[in-house]
Structure 1
Amino acid sequence: MDRLEIFRGIATEASKGDLTFPTNVNATLKLQQALEDPDCHIDAAAKMVMAEPLLSARTVAIANSAAYNRSNNEVTNVKVAVSRLGFRTLKSMVASVIVRQLNSKVTDPALKAKAAQLWEHSAHVAALAQVIAKRITKVDPDTAMFAGIVHEVGGFYLISRAEEFPGLLDGDPEDWVEYGEKLIGRGVLKKLGVPDGVMTAVEALWHGVRAMPPETLGDTLLLANDLARVVSPLHQKEGVTIKQTAAAINFEVEGGTLHSILEDAEEEIESLTAALLV
C-alpha cells in the first residue's frame, strides 16, 4: 500500500468519525491534579487546558453542546468554555481523555520528536495570533489563540497513526498538505466540534490566501503561522528558514508597521508561548 493510499484510508476513517486521539498525558494529569485543589482559580484552569490542543477543542465543543448551551450562545474560546462547564464536568472530561491517551501513546522516538516540534510550533502560532488579533486585526484575541492551538490538530492525529505505517511521514510534505491536512484535518476538527468560525479560519490557512494587512480571523491565523519561529515538522522544506520567511513580511498599519508592533509585543509573545509550552 503506497503513502497516498494510506492517507486516503485514514481520511475515510476521519470522515466517518472513527477516531482515537493521542494527547499529552503529563499535561492532562497536571490539569486533573490542579482541578482537585479547592483553591484552583478558573483562570489557571483555562490556561492549563489551552496547553493541550485536543483537550482545548473538546472543552469548547462540550461547552457548545445542547446540554450546556441553553442560551444558544456559541463559545469560541477556552476560558469562557471552562467557566460554562464548571470543574465537575471538566474533571470527568479530563479523566476520559487520559484513558484514551494511555491507549494511544506514541513510542517511536522520531515520531515523539515530531509531535514535540508540532506542539512548539502550535504554541508559537497561538501566541502570535493572540497578539496580532489584539493589536492589528481587532478580532477576538482568545478565539485567535484557540485557533492557533488547534490549527494542526489533524497533524497530531496523523503522527499518532504513523507507527502503524512506517515511512508514512517521509517524502514530500506536499503529500500531507494535499491529502492529510485538508481531508484528515477537516475530519478531526469536525469530530472535535470546533466552532464554525474557527473551522473557517483553519481552512483559510490551508488555502493560503489572505488580505494584507490582515483583516479576518483566517488572515490572523495565516500570518501567525508564517511568522512562527518554529516550523511545523509536517511542512518543513529544505533550504528555506523561518527567519527568511518572516523577514520578508511587513506592512504599515495604524500604530506603526508589523515589525515595530511585534518588536513592542515581543515580551508578551514570549511569555505567552512559554506558558503554553509548560
Structure 2
Amino acid sequence: MEVEEISDEDETVESQLFLEIYREYMEGTLQLPTLPELALRVRRAVNDPEKSLADVAKIIQSDQAITGRLIEVANSPIYRSEVSANSCMAAIRRLGLDNTRDLVTTFAMKQLFKADNKVLAKRMKELWSHSTHVAAISAVLADMTPSLNADRALLAGLIHDIGVLAIYGYVAERPELLSNEQELDDAVEHLRGQVGAMVLRKWFFASDLVTVVLEAENYDYDSEFGPDYADVVLVSQLHSYFGTPKASGLPPLFERPAFGKLPLSQLGPEKSIEALKEARKNIDEMRRLLGG
C-alpha cells in the first residue's frame, strides 16, 4: 500500500480521512464491508471439494430473488442455448460452478449499497447505478473477447468502485466528514483504489480482481499480458460516460492502451461504436437483472 506523508496538523478532509483509515488499517481495526452471507456461503461451498452441485443449489434456493436472476442469466443471449434452464440446478449446470459463484456474489452485493444518511444514500444509489452500467458493458465486452469470461467481467465491473463504497460506509459513522462534499470527493478519488484492494483481500478475491480496483481510474493502464479484466473495466467506464458531461474531461477511448488490447479495437473507431450500439439490448438486459 503506497502512502504519502501527512501530519496530524493537516486538517483537510482528504489527509485526515487518509490518516484515520491508514492508522486503523495498520492496527487491524479498520471496519470494511462484509461480503453478504449468501455469497459467502456459496463461495465456500464451491471451493469445498466435498460439496456437490446439489449442495450449492440448496444454498442459492434459500433466496428466491437471486435464484430467479440466476435462471434468467442462464437463459440470456450470452449463453446462446435453445433449451431453457427452468430450475436452479439446470442453471448451475449451464453456467458452471465458478460462474455461478461469481454471479451470486454479484447479485447479493446490492444490499451493501445502502445508507441511512440522506447524503450518503443518494451517493450510494448513484454508485450502484454507475457500477451496474459498467458491469453490464464489461460482460458484453468480455463476451466479445475469447480469453475472458463474461460472468467474471460482470463481477469485475460491479466491484471496480468497492473502495468508494467502503469509504462511504466509514464516513457514515463520522457525519462531520460530510460537511464539505467536494473535499470528500477529493478524498474518495485519492483513496478508492487502495481501500478497494483492502476490501477484496479481506474477501479473499483473486489478484485479477484486485488489479481491477487498483487500476480502475488509471486510463494509461497497459496490461502486460492483456486483455485482462482491468482492460475491460477501463473501456467500459469510458463507454459508460458517452453522451454525458463527464465525457468531455476524459481521454479518448480509442487512444487508450486498454482499448487496443480488445479484439473490438480491430474493427476501427466507427465500427467499434456501431458494435457496442448493437449490443445495447444485451447491456440493458444485464442492467435490468442487476437492478441497476
TM-score by length of 2: 0.60
Q: Tell me how far apart the structure 2 counterparts of residues 246 and 273 of structure 1 sit (CA, whole Å).
A: 23
Give the Å deviation of 1:277: 2.0
Shift of the 136–243 alpha-carbon distance from structure 1 to 2, 3 Å rule, reads farther
Detail structure 1 runs of 4+ shifted over 6 Å in the superposition: none
Matched, 1:275 2:289: yes
Matched, 1:144 2:153: yes
The aligned amino acid for 1:18 is: L
Q: Deviations over 1:33-89 (max 9, x none)?
A: xxxxxxxxxxxxxxxxxxxxx54xx76665554x652459xxxxxxxxx98734337
Equivalenced residues, count:
217
Give the Å deviation of 1:197: 1.9
Superposed, 1:184-263 pairs within 5 Å as 184-208=195-219, 209-210=221-222, 215-229=227-241, 241-244=245-248, 248-250=252-254, 253-254=265-266, 257-263=271-277
Give the Å deviation of 1:6: 2.0
Matched, 1:120 2:129: yes
Give the Å deviation of 1:188: 1.4
- Residue of structure 1 aligned with 2:24, choices 6, 13, 22: 13
Q: Tell me how far apart the structure 1 counterparts of residues 29 and 280 of structure 2 sit (CA, whole Å).
A: 40
Give the Å deviation of 1:136: 4.1
Shift of the 143–271 alpha-carbon distance from structure 1 to 2, 3 Å rule, reads same
RMSD value over aligned CA atoms?
3.8
Superposed, 1:44-123 pairs within 5 Å as 54-55=35-36, 62-65=41-44, 68-71=46-49, 85-88=56-59, 91=62, 106-123=115-132
- Residue of structure 2 aligned with 1:155, choices 129, 153, 164: 164
TM-score by length of 1: 0.63
Shift of the 59–11 alpha-carbon distance from structure 1 to 2, 3 Å rule, reads farther
User: Partner of 2:283: helix, strand, or coil?
Assistant: helix
1:170 corresponds in structure 2 to 182
Q: Tell me how far apart the structure 2 counterparts of residues 206 and 123 of structure 1 sit (CA, whole Å).
A: 17
Q: Tell me how far apart the structure 1 counterparts of residues 54 and 16 of structure 2 sit (CA, whole Å).
A: 43
Unaligned runs of 5+ in 1: 23-53, 73-81, 232-239
Q: Tell me how far apart the structure 1 counterparts of residues 249 and 289 of structure 2 sit (CA, whole Å).
A: 25
Q: Tell me how far apart the structure 1 counterparts of residues 60 and 25 of structure 2 sit (CA, whole Å).
A: 26
Unaligned runs of 5+ in 2: 1-10, 67-107, 255-259
2:139 corresponds in structure 1 to 130
Give the Å deviation of 1:263: 1.0
Give the Å deviation of 1:173: 3.6
Indicate if the aligned counterparts of 2:212 and 2:233 stay in contact, CA closer than 8 A.
Answer: yes
Give the Å deviation of 1:128: 0.5
The aligned amino acid for 1:219 is: D
Shift of the 261–89 alpha-carbon distance from structure 1 to 2, 3 Å rule, reads closer
Comparing both chains, which one has the higher relative contact order based on Cα–Cα distances under 8 Å and sequence gaps of 6 or more? 1
Q: Deviations over 1:127-175 (max 9, x none)?
A: 0100111114641111000001111112112112223133364327443
